[in-house]
Amino acid sequence: MKKNLTHFTKSGEAHMVDIKNKNITDRIAVASGKIFMSKDSIKKIKEGNHKKGDVLGIARIAAITASKKTSDLIPLCHNINLSSVTVDFKINLSKKYVFCKAEVKTSGKTGVEMEALTSVQIGLLTIYDMCKAIDKSMIISEIQLESKKGGASGEWNRGK
């Protein structure tokens, strides 16, 4: 089955997708990503003695806020009322990275994949911002959609 890009008219012009005839369904999206950093940076985050304070706590608030602002950042995204946003960070000291996972939920006519991806990206960028004074070599990578549920296309899981 050939899928068409929905953000373009038949003549190739960009437009916002009309969702008025879509059904309201429960929708969930999960995204993840990593930020790799120096041993010193990750140690300061883990021990909670970074001079800028609670790095992961501030990054979590930034990530949640970003999910709510996605339609302000991505031109063709719909403004969505979110039901919940959960952001978790896990520190991998031996491999020197912080893993971020965001789960976004709504009950509506369009999905929340972009909100979950935006949440992860901004959470990791906030960590970068707070740690850049001691580590400019950080690398943000592996930003990806892990899964989504709801809507006409149903359920999708990475690797399945």
| Residues designated catalytic | 129
For residue 28, give the nearest of 89, 116, 109 by alpha carbon. 116
Contact (CB, 8 A) for 98 and 139: no
Task: Report the half-sphere exposure of 23 (CA within 13 A, side-chain side).
Answer: 8
Q: What is the 3-state secondary structure (H, E, C) of the chain?
A: CCCCCCCECCCCCECCCCCCCCCCEEEEEEEEEEEECCHHHHHHHHHCCCCCCCHHHHHHHHHHHHHHCHHHHCCCCCCCCCCEEEEEEEEECCCCEEEEEEEEEEEECCCCHHHHHHHHHHHHHHHHHHHCCCCCCCEEEEEEEEEEECCCCCCEECCC
